[in-house]
Amino acid sequence: MNADELLDFALGQLDDPRRRALEEDARLDPDLDARIQAIRRGVDDLCDDGLAYAPPPGLAERTLAFVAQAPANDPAVLDYIPTRVPFRLADFAVAASIFIAGLLTLTPAVQRSRERMDQAGCVFNLKQIGQSLGEYATIHPSYPAPPGDRADAQSGLFAAMLRGAGLLPDLGVLDCPYNGRNDLAHAHKLASFEQAEELRRTDPASYEKMVNWDYGYNPGYRHASGRVGPISARPASLIAVVADQPPDGVLLGDVDHNSPNHYGAGQNVLYSDGGVRWLRSRLVGPDDRDVYLNNARKLEPGVHDQDSVILPPRVPFGTTAGR
């Protein structure tokens, strides 16, 4: 098992068969489990800078005083430059060739490292959202859902419900870094579900600018009575709750098209246990054939409690009307 595979496992990028095999290996091998946990902690540290520290008092003044005390007759940097460069043009050509060859060799590795860091950032964001949802679930019987008579509310307002409960202080976690940065300058206006709904009715243009994030939400499923019910806060099995947003337009109906957040390579999915897993296809499991459409192949709440559907942020909880 190489380091690349361990990193992919920590980021949730391995396919299910290999992932399950590694989970079993880690369960039986404490040393392997410790290595995996160390990698995950390292990824979290890279994604989160932690606390900021102020410089010691008077550092700037002491630095200026130290520079001012330098003897005036000390040689300057330019004094060390020779008057004649002891190299021929051919030497520069050889050095340039070596530099270009090295650059061509390193570029793919640098790009891969950057992609992995962006992937890690997406995983970190979804884990942060999962923590907020977990805290919400400790005081509510279900995950965020609008009042029963407000099924026309858009699913992206799950974030407004978390925000209103004081559980989502950093709205930056709603932006997937893999596809570039979204303009979340207007998102600070998001204060509560009622405030967002009022803005949607009175100032649609401002509302559109405010609800501008990369993750979709599972509105729940439709009961036999026809009523849409939210996901229970303590489901009996793993349910997809939040994920990279689905493809738009006609691509949504094509099961071979994944989320645009990762340029079609797959999607990160946050489950009800707080874990984030990477799906290379839209298949969730035998009871949930498409993470973006219900088992009736519609962009609507699930047809049963195991049928999860991740709606785009601006699709209503209870219906696809108005998309």
Tens-digit pLDDT profile for residues 95-121: 777 767 666 665 555 556 666 777 788
Tens-digit pLDDT profile for residues 176-191: 988 877 777 778 778 8
Task: Tell me the percentage of the chain whose pLDDT exceeds 90.
Answer: 26
Tell me if 47 sits within 8 A of 120, measured CB to CB. Answer: yes
pLDDT of residue 321: 43
What's the per-residue H, E or C state across 40-81? HHHHHHHHCCCCCCCCCCCHHHHHHHHHHCCCCCCCCHHHHC
pLDDT of residue 285: 84
pLDDT of residue 9: 74
Tens-digit pLDDT profile for residues 122-167: 999 999 999 999 999 888 888 999 887 787 899 999 999 999 999 9
Confidence of residue 30 (pLDDT cuts 50, 70, 90): confident
**DSSP code at position 166:** T
Confidence of residue 40 (pLDDT cuts 50, 70, 90): confident
Return the higher-pLDDT residue of 51 and 167: 167
pLDDT (mean) for 217-242 = 84
Task: Tell me the percentage of the chain whose pLDDT exceeds 70.
Answer: 78
**DSSP code at position 202:** H
Tell me if 261 sits within 8 A of 122, measured CB to CB. Answer: yes
pLDDT (mean) for 265-274 = 91
> What average pLDDT does the chain have?
81
Q: Read off the tokens for 305.
A: 């409690």
pLDDT of residue 320: 46
Confidence of residue 322 (pLDDT cuts 50, 70, 90): very low
pLDDT of residue 242: 95
